[in-house]
Structure 1
Amino acid sequence: MTEAGTALVVSAHSADFVWRAGGAIALHAERGLAVTVICLSYGERGESAKLWRLPGMTLDRVKTDRRKEAERAAQALGAADIQFWDLGDYPLTLTQESLFRLVDVYRAIRPAFVLTHSHQDIYNHDHPATTEFAQHARIVAQAHGHNPGQKVLGAPPVFLFEPHQPEQCDWKPDMLLDITPVWDKKRAAIECMAGQEHLWEYYERVARQRGAQAARNSDKKITYGEGYEAVFPHVVESLA
């Protein structure tokens, strides 16, 4: 992954970027990248069960609480910008208007790489819908006929972060990222997500497992890692 410029994370819900890409965000932010996180939804219907159990809870209150959590998490990770598009969840509603809005983001920030969800997720259809949406916008941003006169997008690589149950989602990592130097930041961001406290230890176990795999595939001492699946071939000048 590039170590300069900008990066884009397209997250279906307000916590997804934390569990799945928090290490990458913190790592690259430390290296000077301006990371933009787009939360298409607050996860207010399907991913906020703890909040809904509280007496007198309302939809607006859930959205407000989830937004505050995500803002604190983004700050802990060092993200340059976090945007909340409030497109609903269960189901997430993606329109042509929102597609063109994302195209504008691509062309405005010109990311060095893009992180988003897996191609499949049988447990949450909002996730693959987000992946299709993010990649469709990338293609449109490359089209000379879309808003002629604007500078078209190049070809930023797209990496798919780990779904909750990878074996059931046909997701296979071909990139293991060492996030050991920024683990404390990711753990702090995880603990910002009070609405899903039951996932805190789960995602620490995931990070340790990917770290162990990364260590086995290198000559480095690695404790924590994140896995990614590349969508496009890597273009390199050397295999060394």
Structure 2
Amino acid sequence: MSDGPVLIVSAHAADFVWRAGGYAALAARRGAGAHVVCLSYGERGESAALWKSGATLEQVKAARRAEAEAAAKALGAQITFLDAGDYPLPRADAGLMDALVQRIRAVRPAAILVHSAADPYNADHPRAAELALEARILAQAEGYPSEHPIIGAPPVFRFEPHQPEMCGFQPDVLVDITEVFDVKRAAMECMNAQEHLWDYYTELARRRGVQAVRNGGDRAIRYAEAYQRVYPQVAGVLA
């Protein structure tokens, strides 16, 4: 794990839990720090049970915020909500972009985790990734106004989408999350509006754990998360 905190850019309130909760918990446990930026609460597109219960928009947003806060606390992560709205997530919003740039500069992440580049089932996910990648570029620019200094070039990794084969997701990094999987499961169980995904992502972590062992990992690995690197790795040796 790189020195310094990890920053996770999540389109909706629960995305970071399913897809990068294990890495967030690892970073927190090892003292590097984990920070989550939720661009929206997922109030329109990922809160069907709440709408069916008769909740209002503000009640849905409040419920999803509370769930995400509880999940972040379970993981040991800090969380920021930008409340940009979902379905659709805005593509070009100067205020949203600036808020994301300022957060990246404030956190100074050692790594940034984002959504997949494509998702035919949810346009908010690749849009969130585009925003994160552009914000990283702006956070490197000397002339961009900010009270925080510019950042360097932290590596960016895409976390696994719900249907990877449909999203062009080909993992090239498998992270062992066995030691913190109980924490990730506890965080997942905070997301009551999407209870149907608890077991799905538990089974996915098990499958990725099997693959991690098959690809040379320690035989003690039971759970893993999959990631796809965006930029080339710089190294002195191939490993």
TM-score by length of 1: 0.95
User: Partners in 2 of 1:146 and 1:90 — Cα distance?
Assistant: 29
- 2:14 maps to which residue? 15
1:58-117 C-alpha deviation (Å, 9 max, x unpaired): 1111111111111110011010x2011111110112411111111111212210000010
Structure 1 stretches of 5 or more lacking a match? none
User: Partners in 2 of 1:148 and 1:30 — Cα distance?
Assistant: 30
Q: How many residues are aligned here?
A: 237
Q: 1:196 aligns with which of 172, 182, 194?
A: 194
User: Partners in 1 of 2:40 and 2:198 — Cα distance?
Assistant: 20
Identity of aligned residues (%): 58
- How do 1:195-214 and structure 2 match up within 5 A? 195-214=193-212
CA shift for structure 1 position 149: 8.2
Contact 2:41/2:65 (CA < 8 Å) preserved in 1? yes
1:166-212 C-alpha deviation (Å, 9 max, x unpaired): 00000100000000000000000010000000111111111011111
SS of residue matched to 2:7 = strand
SS of residue matched to 1:87 = coil
Q: 1:121 is aligned with what amino acid?
A: D
Tell me the C-alpha RMSD between the 2 structures. Answer: 1.3
- 2:89 maps to which residue? 92
CA shift for structure 1 position 219: 4.3
* Distance of aligned partners of 1:148 and 1:220 in 2 relative to their CA distance in 1, 3 Å threshold: closer
TM-score by length of 2: 0.96
Structure 2 stretches of 5 or more lacking a match? none
1:47 aligns with 2:49: no
Q: 2:86 is aligned with what amino acid?
A: D
SS of residue matched to 2:20 = helix
1:139-186 C-alpha deviation (Å, 9 max, x unpaired): 011112212885221000000000000000001000000000000000
User: Partners in 2 of 1:72 and 1:150 — Cα distance?
Assistant: 29
1:5 aligns with 2:4: yes
- 1:36 maps to which residue? 35
Q: 1:102 aligns with which of 100, 103, 108?
A: 100
